[in-house]
Amino acid sequence: MNDKLYQEELLEHYKYPKHRKKLATHDFKAGDYNPSCGDRIAIEGTVNDNVITDLGFEGSGCVISQAATSMLTEMCVGNTIEAVMALTKDDISTLIGIPLGPTRLKCALLCLQVLQEGLAVYQQR
């Protein structure tokens, strides 16, 4: 895909986010915010036999932070906890698909940080 198509996909996720929902029950939950702008994301999820079975998020913020959360949650449902814990900023850059400067990369990484925080606490139980 070229940059324009990736941008359209981002906007599509921003306008019609996947997994922006409240779950009936959850096994883990975490939230955080970007201190430079105050934008926030909270993610909750269910786990069965080490596999993430559902994710729901809420949050407010810029197109990148909210669209990245939609894309990440869509990608991670059905994956093992270990696979998600192993994701890095390079994986998020690949998922977003367009070059991001350091400030925008922080917007995109907020969701991964929150999801991994929630899973880390879940793993310690």
Residue of 30, 43, 96, 107 interacting with ligand FES (CB under 6 A): 107
* Interacting residues with ligand FES between 72 and 101 (CB under 6 A): none
Residue 110 or 114: the one with the smaller Cβ distance to ligand FES is 110
Residue of 19, 34, 44, 96 interacting with ligand FES (CB under 6 A): 34
Question: In angstroms, what is the minimal distance from the CB of 47 to ligand FES?
Answer: 27
- Contact status, residue 57 vs residue 75, Cβ threshold 8 Å: no
When asked if residue 39 is in the footprint of ligand FES (CB under 6 A), the reply is yes
Which residues form the interface with ligand FES (CB under 6 A)?
A: 34, 37, 39, 61-62, 64-65, 107, 110
